[in-house]
Amino acid sequence: MARLIPLATAIAELVAPGSTVALEGFTHLIPFAAAAEIIRQRIGHLTLVRLTPDLVADWLIGVGLVDRLIFSWGGNPGVGSLHRFRDSVQQGWPRPLELEEHSHAGLVNRYVAGAAGLPFAVLRAYAGTSLNGIHPNIRSITCPFTGEELAAVPALNPDVGIVHAQQADRDGNVMIWGITGVQKEVILASKRSLVTVEEVVDEFGEHANSIRIPEFLIDAVAVVPGGARPSYASGYYDRDNDFYLAWDRIARDRDGFLAWIREHVERRADA
């Protein structure tokens, strides 16, 4: 049963040091405010799971809270490299980063198997690529019906799944519309879950391409208006493309990055 609690309380209760945390949102609805709160509480040694570790991952990696990253694409979309991610992989700063790297389909299907309560997922990918063999979580399996060789990836059940959504109702049911990414799969696959929302409403309206997630699947809902900025929340605010462009300069330099985090993340209490 979802409880409506402040973000700081939710993060303190749900995210333990050393846990596996999935932060999802496929370009849309990225839970930046939740990541900022993890930084303020200095919860470290995390395994971060994210299909597209972009700016939100750069923050967490750059301040040294991530030991291991499970991902499929690490860049600044439409802009270029992710400098803090690159620095940790190439130079080990501020700490070495262990990688478990997939294609989107591979990681997506790890969540799907996790949500479905299966030990692994089958997909027709990875054949012939160098991704095969770089870590033990991509293996092959023979189809018992056709004899075909297929790829297998193990189920992923994060300790905590965190996503942002547009709305919750007073019971803690959640509604998302626009690009829904893997929001549903992450909540269904995770042992505990937190959804930050733009607002609480008395009743949900109708929106094209919407999904609703029942409250009993969610542990905590925290109201954080603007909680996805600088990404966007369809119906609330647009993506701050200028900030994504500016991030290239901010994150390029270690000291500049740390100064930016102090100024814009650590000194700012959550709503």
Site residues (vs other proteins, CB under 8 A): 26-28, 51-52, 71-75, 77-79, 81-82, 85-86, 89-90, 101-105, 108-109, 111-112, 123-131, 134, 148-149, 178-182, 184-185, 208-209, 211, 232, 234, 238-239, 241, 244
CB of 99 to other proteins, least distance (A): 9
Q: What is the DSSP letter of 51?
A: S
CB of 8 to other proteins, least distance (A): 29
**Rounded Cα gap, residues 2 and 163, in angstroms:** 14
Nearer to other proteins, 147 or 203 (CB): 147
Count Cβ atoms below 10 Å from residue 227 Cβ, excluding itself: 28
Secondary structure E strands in 96-241: 98-101, 120-123, 139-142, 149-154, 160-169, 174-176, 192-201, 211-213, 220-223
Nearer to other proteins, 9 or 132 (CB): 132
**Rounded Cα gap, residues 175 and 187, in angstroms:** 13
Nearest by Cα to 30 from 66, 77, 85, 80: 77
Nearer to other proteins, 3 or 104 (CB): 104
For residues 71 and 85, is the Cβ–Cβ distance under 8 A? no
**Rounded Cα gap, residues 85 and 223, in angstroms:** 29
Nearer to other proteins, 14 or 138 (CB): 138
Nearer to other proteins, 7 or 111 (CB): 111
